[in-house]
Structure 1
């Protein structure tokens, strides 16, 4: 904070100086001013020295003032822990350690799929076979849709990755398009972006007694338009990082019904993996039909931890650690 300089005072020749107080010979009235000036100068020099050396790293120092380049605040009325606004093209500020890296996030299904059953039921080529374009996904017993869950986690994950400088692209977002895209198109979006990593987010609809998460890895398939041999090994490494980060952050156990307790499953019947030419995995974050998992999946704070775990895994993979 700066103060305005009052400037020199106007002399008053018609007002004689008062006599010096008795018993204090030789001392000028300006002595307090001189002392004050010395104190101010000394304090300023001390502050400059402190700034040059640096404040102790104990968390007590005040943060620097915000500048024009600071990140935008959360939108008014946004709930605590919700992701803040992001740039329209999904590109981070570039200030993070992973500037130049590209990640494609594929939120499983689409909230509008149920209105377009004829479109999503038509078969498409997945390389080794033909399967339906997409499905509506599952939901909890209380009606919380998988497509809503996956989009929410995708938004949170995008925000976290952008803070690292990653360029993030979503296969669909907030009703655009209003259904799909089909599984083959989802793979092409990652391929066209030349993604360093791609992740498809899901939640399962297994038997009520089953719970836990699992990460799906692409098998090394070669047939028709599918050839995952060049990306199978890298995808396995990506999947291991994602599983480790997700488990640490959420505390969710590996699937009790698939993967033999490893949290990792390999499949060759998923078009989104078969047609990918970049490292890609799926994650089933939990079982929406299981009461314990459903309570977690419907919790905003848990979804934030899920996004943090996914981010941790992807960042670790991108750094090669």
Structure 2
């Protein structure tokens, strides 16, 4: 774009018709619809602007790669002069790369991009190729593409292309008797599980493809994923070589998967909290020891401060929870073993 073309841009061309906020005769639904329409116009305008920002930044970066010293200092200086963060710059470059990729493959042209909101375009660029094609086809047909449309098409493709679902459930999804927003999360949860653990989940789906059962099976799949993830992280479990598969079978047999999953999850959080507590206690203890060395008779108030914190800096940590009347004191003994 030349300087002459820049001067020919009339900023007054970009105008929107907004509803009167003081119009008492305007229904709330109509008011929100008009405001939302104006917002979508800004969103699409913003998308095209950011794509071009990304292309500009990519040009500056590539120039630096070709002719600079190879450390990117020239590019960083260019960003600093314009008060642009490095993360923001690369998010714009990624957006430009996504746009150019879709356009280079012949899927989109400049007019089609105007159909997208900014967030919808970002989600489209990260979607599976099959989903991208569905979205592009919709944009070419003149449909306005928002995040809702992207997620709807993505969920439909996830549900209909999955090998985990029985045919009768897919038929219900195709007939829109069961919303895809409930089925797609189930498919994604099953995909996270090892194949051996997928069998009981698939059997539970086959036993009933109604909406209530889909919700229950999804919750079980999530708990199963959480159980398997956390059992591999809890040291108290791994150090004893517990057979987590048999423990899981027993929990399922007595209907206690939720309790078992929650227990392991809380145990994982507790171990992490203890590790963080130890590192913090170590810093408090070291700082107190160093300050005791520097303090003396001339700093009585500083000595009082150190004495008041002794219950936290010593190996016998004591903390009061709650007020004096209804509270309780929690004591922990920290012992280091090599």
TM-score by length of 2: 0.21
Task: Identify, as 1 or 2, the structure richer in strand.
Answer: 1
Task: Identify, as 1 or 2, the structure richer in helix.
Answer: 2
TM-score by length of 1: 0.22
